[in-house]
Amino acid sequence: RDIAERLSYRDLATFPKIENGDLIIIAPVINEISLGLVKELSRKYNIILAIQGYLRSWSKAGRIIQKPFTGIEMLKSIEYIILSNEDITFNNIPDYEYLKRIVKFGPKVILTESSSGAKLVTKYNILNFKAYPLNKTIYDYTGAGDTFIAGFVDGLNAGLKNAILKGNIYAKLKL
């Protein structure tokens, strides 16, 4: 089985020119972007971090298994964290204390909640954004989170609330 090589700061030389202050979306599949690189990038750029890939590892049998996030302290340099209910669920129980530990370091957290919508979680409050109703049964939500991120970024210039609403619209259209 092939495993992707980890990206390094040198690899960015092959990317299009990135200006200071630009927004970078980092969404690893399984830990192929080191947290050190994320921290380095956050010194110059605004970061949206989808941490799902840092919550996964390979089992000896070649299956993907969930693991706790080990880089919580570096989150103070991140603008937005996007994660799903599944990302904070361990042994079938959502761990909201874990979410509070992430938020305490300062990033704005967008928690997607499948067909329930999304939440904006900060140190100070939680805002709920209901999902748009679907007129069909959904059997597979694969890709809805990535599509939510695309809508979120597309709506960000119109403000954070609009970004979350647009993320919900994009996710609905994907499903």
What DSSP element (H or E) covers 117? strand 117-121
What DSSP element (H or E) covers 169? helix 160-174
How many angstroms separate the CA atoms of 88 and 150, rounded? 21
The predicted model scores a pTM of 0.85
Segment 149-173 mean pLDDT: 93
The number of beta carbons lying within 10 Å of the beta carbon of residue 122 is 13
The encoded tokens of residue 119 equal 């939440």
Position 111 confidence tier, pLDDT thresholds 50, 70, 90:
very high
Nearest to 122 by CA among 80, 165, 68, 69: 80
What DSSP element (H or E) covers 89? strand 89-90
> Has residue 143 got a pLDDT over 70?
yes
How many angstroms separate the CA atoms of 135 and 115, rounded? 12
How many angstroms separate the CA atoms of 104 and 95, rounded? 15
